[in-house]
Amino acid sequence: MTCKRCRSDRQSVFNGEMAIHFRGLNGLDKPIVWVFQEIGVCLNCGFTEFTVPERELQTLLQGYPVKGAVALPTGWPQRQDASELD
Ligand SMILES: [Zn+2]
Protein backbone atom coordinates (compact mmCIF):
# COMPACT_ATOMS: atom_id res chain seq x y z
CA MET A 1 0.00 0.00 0.00
CA THR A 2 1.24 3.47 -0.87
CA CYS A 3 0.79 6.60 1.26
CA LYS A 4 -1.75 9.00 -0.25
CA ARG A 5 0.27 11.97 0.99
CA CYS A 6 3.93 11.19 0.23
CA ARG A 7 3.68 7.99 -1.84
CA SER A 8 5.99 6.10 0.54
CA ASP A 9 5.42 2.38 0.96
CA ARG A 10 6.63 2.50 4.60
CA GLN A 11 3.24 1.99 6.26
CA SER A 12 2.13 -0.06 9.20
CA VAL A 13 -1.15 -0.88 10.93
CA PHE A 14 -1.69 -0.26 14.65
CA ASN A 15 -4.59 -0.57 17.08
CA GLY A 16 -5.91 2.88 17.86
CA GLU A 17 -8.12 4.66 20.39
CA MET A 18 -9.37 8.11 19.49
CA ALA A 19 -11.66 10.57 21.24
CA ILE A 20 -13.41 12.84 18.74
CA HIS A 21 -14.61 16.19 20.06
CA PHE A 22 -16.98 18.67 18.44
CA ARG A 23 -15.25 21.97 17.82
CA GLY A 24 -15.84 25.34 19.44
CA LEU A 25 -17.66 26.33 22.62
CA ASN A 26 -20.85 24.63 21.43
CA GLY A 27 -18.86 21.40 21.30
CA LEU A 28 -18.66 21.42 25.09
CA ASP A 29 -22.35 20.48 25.17
CA LYS A 30 -21.95 17.62 22.69
CA PRO A 31 -20.73 14.06 23.24
CA ILE A 32 -17.13 12.96 23.05
CA VAL A 33 -17.13 10.04 20.63
CA TRP A 34 -14.64 7.19 21.18
CA VAL A 35 -13.42 5.18 18.22
CA PHE A 36 -11.40 1.97 18.60
CA GLN A 37 -10.14 1.06 15.17
CA GLU A 38 -7.08 -0.18 13.39
CA ILE A 39 -5.18 2.77 11.98
CA GLY A 40 -2.81 2.83 9.04
CA VAL A 41 0.19 5.06 9.73
CA CYS A 42 2.75 6.19 7.18
CA LEU A 43 6.10 5.76 8.91
CA ASN A 44 7.63 8.32 6.54
CA CYS A 45 5.34 11.37 6.93
CA GLY A 46 2.87 10.41 9.70
CA PHE A 47 -0.24 10.50 7.54
CA THR A 48 -2.85 8.33 9.27
CA GLU A 49 -6.08 6.77 8.07
CA PHE A 50 -8.97 5.06 9.82
CA THR A 51 -12.72 4.63 9.36
CA VAL A 52 -15.28 5.82 11.89
CA PRO A 53 -17.73 2.93 12.56
CA GLU A 54 -21.39 3.48 11.63
CA ARG A 55 -22.77 4.02 15.16
CA GLU A 56 -20.08 6.52 16.07
CA LEU A 57 -20.51 8.18 12.67
CA GLN A 58 -24.25 8.62 13.39
CA THR A 59 -23.36 10.20 16.72
CA LEU A 60 -21.11 12.71 14.93
CA LEU A 61 -23.84 13.38 12.37
CA GLN A 62 -26.66 13.87 14.90
CA GLY A 63 -24.67 15.49 17.71
CA TYR A 64 -25.97 13.16 20.42
CA PRO A 65 -25.09 9.57 21.35
CA VAL A 66 -26.90 6.83 19.44
CA LYS A 67 -27.61 3.44 21.04
CA GLY A 68 -24.51 1.30 21.25
CA ALA A 69 -22.05 4.06 20.38
CA VAL A 70 -19.14 4.62 22.72
CA ALA A 71 -19.62 8.25 23.67
CA LEU A 72 -19.56 10.36 26.78
CA PRO A 73 -22.99 11.93 27.16
CA THR A 74 -23.94 15.44 26.12
CA GLY A 75 -22.86 18.08 28.58
CA TRP A 76 -20.14 15.98 30.18
CA PRO A 77 -18.69 16.75 32.65
CA GLN A 78 -21.99 17.31 34.33
CA ARG A 79 -22.64 20.90 35.21
CA GLN A 80 -23.70 21.69 38.74
CA ASP A 81 -26.66 23.86 39.46
CA ALA A 82 -25.88 26.83 41.67
CA SER A 83 -28.08 25.23 44.36
CA GLU A 84 -25.76 22.18 44.45
CA LEU A 85 -22.67 24.26 45.18
CA ASP A 86 -23.71 25.22 48.72
ZN1 LIG B 1 3.41 9.38 3.91
DSSP string for the chain: ---TTT----EEEEEEEEEE---TGGGGGSPEEEEEEEEEEETTT--EE----HHHHHHHHHSSPPTT--EEPTTPSPPPPGGG--
Mean pLDDT, the chain, whole residue set: 86
Tell which wins on pLDDT, 50 or 71. 50
**What's the pLDDT at 74?**
62
**What's the pLDDT at 7?**
97
pLDDT in tens, 64-79: 888 888 777 665 444 4
**Which residues hold their Cβ within 5 A of ligand 1, which is an ion?**
3, 5-6, 8, 42, 44-45, 47
Whole-number Å distance, alpha carbon 42 to ligand 1 midpoint, is 5
Q: What value does the mean pLDDT take over residues 51-57?
A: 94
Whole-number Å distance, alpha carbon 49 to ligand 1 midpoint, is 11
Q: What is the pTM of this model?
A: 0.73
> What is the Cα Rg of the chain in Å?
17
